[in-house]
Amino acid sequence: MLDAMASALLDTPVAIRPRSADVRGAAAALEGAPAEDIVGWAAERFGGGLVLASSFQDCVLLDVALGVAPALQVVFLDTQYHFPETLEYMDRVRRRYDMDLRIVRPRVAPDDRWRRDLDSCCAVRKVEPLDRALEGRAAWMSGLRRADSAARADTPVVTLDERRGLVKVNPLATWSDADVQRYAAERDLPVHPLAARGYTSVGCWPCTRAVAPGEDARAGRWKGTDKTECGLHL
Ligand code: SF4
C-alpha cells in the first residue's frame, strides 16, 4: 500500500533525522487509510521509539492504538491543573487497558502563572514536560483531528515535528465528530464525565469552559483570549 516515498521513510534509520520529503510521501500514502493501518505503519516503522500522547478527554485513539500496538507507551501530561473528573477518567481508562502509562509533571510547583501569562504557563506545564517525555524517541502520536477547529483543518496524517526533529502521526486526522462518536459507541468506551456538561474539549480547569450548541468544539479553550493552542502541536 505504501508508495515509494513512504517506503523511503520506512528504510530511514531512526537515528537519522527524518527528511520532510519522505514524511510528505508517507502522509500522501496514508491519507484516507484506516486509523489502525496508520498506527500499524508507525508501530512497525518506529517500534519502541513511538509514543502516544493522550490528554484523556476521550480514549478513542488509545483504544485504536493499543489494539494494534499493546506495548505502546502512553504519555499523560499532568499539568497540575486538570479537572478532578479528568484524573478520575484517566484512572477508569487505566483499569480497562493494561497499558504502559507514563505521567509527566512540570518541574515547577503550582503557581499563578495562568492568570498573567498563558503562553508561559503552557510552556512550563505542557511543552517542556512533553519535550522531556519525547527525549530519545523517534515519533509521537496525537489525537488531533481536522474537525477539531478551523486552525486544525489542514492537519496531516503524518508530519514532521520540526522543532523536536521527530515524526508526528495523527491517525484520527480525517475523522469527523460522528466517526468518533460511532467508534466510541461501537466499542462501548468510557466517556469523560464533563462531556455531558458541554465540555467538547477538555484541558486545564482555569482555561476550559463548556461550549454552547453550535459553537466550535474548542471554543471553550482559553475563552476570551486569542490563544487557540497550547504549543504542543506547533
Ligand atoms: Fe496553564 Fe492554562 Fe496552559 Fe493549563 S492550559 S498549562 S493552566 S495556561
Find all residues with CB under 8 Å of 5, minimum gap 6, and list them.
Answer: 21, 22, 24, 25, 26, 28, 29
Q: Which amino acid appears at position 155 of this protein?
A: T
Q: Output the pTM of the full model.
A: 0.90
Asked whether residue 41 is assigned to any structural domain, the reply reads yes
Grid cell of 132 as nine digits = 522531556
Q: Is 222 in the pocket of ligand 1 (CB under 6 A)?
A: no
The verdict on whether 230 is a catalytic residue reads: yes
From first to last of its 234 residues, the chain has per-residue pLDDT tens of 445 545 555 554 444 567 888 899 999 999 999 999 999 999 999 999 999 999 999 999 999 999 999 999 999 999 999 999 999 999 999 999 999 999 999 999 999 999 999 999 999 999 999 999 999 999 999 999 999 888 899 999 999 999 999 999 999 999 999 999 999 999 999 999 999 999 999 999 999 999 988 888 888 888 888 888 887 776
Residue nearest to atom 8 of ligand 1 (CA): 118
Q: What is the CATH number of the domain that holds 156?
A: 3.40.50.620
Cα 57 vs. chain centroid, distance in angstroms?
10
Q: Is 77 in the pocket of ligand 1 (CB under 6 A)?
A: no
Asked whether residue 211 is assigned to any structural domain, the reply reads no
Asked whether residue 29 is assigned to any structural domain, the reply reads yes
Strand pairing category for 166-169 and 139-141: parallel
The pLDDT, as a whole number, for residue 17 is 66
Q: Is 121 in the pocket of ligand 1 (CB under 6 A)?
A: yes
**How many structural domains is the chain composed of?**
1
Asked whether residue 213 is assigned to any structural domain, the reply reads no
Q: Which amino acid appears at position 159 of this protein?
A: T
CA distance 172 to 147: 10
Residue 82's DSSP bridge partners are 204
Asked whether residue 232 is assigned to any structural domain, the reply reads no
Asked whether residue 165 is assigned to any structural domain, the reply reads yes
What is the span of the domain harbouring residue 57?
4-197
Q: Name the phi and psi angles at 198, rounded to 5.
A: 90, 10
CA of 207 relative to ligand 1 center, distance in Å: 6
Pocket test for ligand 1, best of 77, 105, 122, 233 (most atoms within 8 A of CB): 122
Asked whether residue 220 is assigned to any structural domain, the reply reads no
Asked whether residue 224 is assigned to any structural domain, the reply reads no
